[in-house]
Amino acid sequence: MPINERITSTDELRAWTDKIPLRYEYTAGVAGERFLRGIKDGKLLAGRCARCGKKFVPPKSYCVDCFEPIGDYEQIGPKGIVAALTESWVDFQGRRLGSPILFAFIVFKGAVGGIIQKAEGKGIMIGSAVEPRFAPASARTGSLADIECFVAV
């Protein structure tokens, strides 16, 4: 039906069932790749705007305030602060757990943004200081999963 035709009755509607095979491949982009390579090396990187000096975690390609392209990266942390916290009583397959998994939004001093990741340790609450626990270097693949969790300092 061309765009200039109008449906005037629900009797004119049609539906069919079909399958569309889709395969998605996403790249991390320039800033994302730099961030993930840092994680693979056991470092957390922020992108820094050369014009206004703001740091972004994860890094962005352009500053959201002054629209300057970001090409400078610097290591931050490793210590971060829990800014938000939640717990899940189901795993990623939807199965009920005996004890909850904690997920935290971790922010870093002097940076905009943060990382959402699992958190472990006694007494973790909003405002707690945490550090990343990386997977062994030989097991890292350059993904967020290379950070096993953030642990209380």
Residue indicated by tokens 């004119």? 12
Q: What is the pLDDT of residues 30-80, one digit of tens each?
A: 999 999 999 999 999 999 999 999 999 999 999 999 999 999 999 998 999
Q: 12 in a domain, yes or no?
A: no
What pLDDT is recorded for position 10? 76
Q: 2 in a domain, yes or no?
A: no
Q: 17 in a domain, yes or no?
A: no
Q: What are phi and psi of 11, to 5 degrees?
A: -65, -20
Q: 19 in a domain, yes or no?
A: no
The CATH number of residue 86's host domain is 2.40.50.140
Neighbours of 148 (CB within 10 A): 15
Residue indicated by tokens 């705007």? 49
Q: 10 in a domain, yes or no?
A: no
Q: 105 in a domain, yes or no?
A: yes
Residue-wise burial string across 102-120, b where 16 or more C-beta atoms lie within 10 A, e elsewhere: bbbbbbbeebbbbbebebe
State the total domains in the chain.
Answer: 1
- Structural domain of residue 51, as residue ranges? 27-152
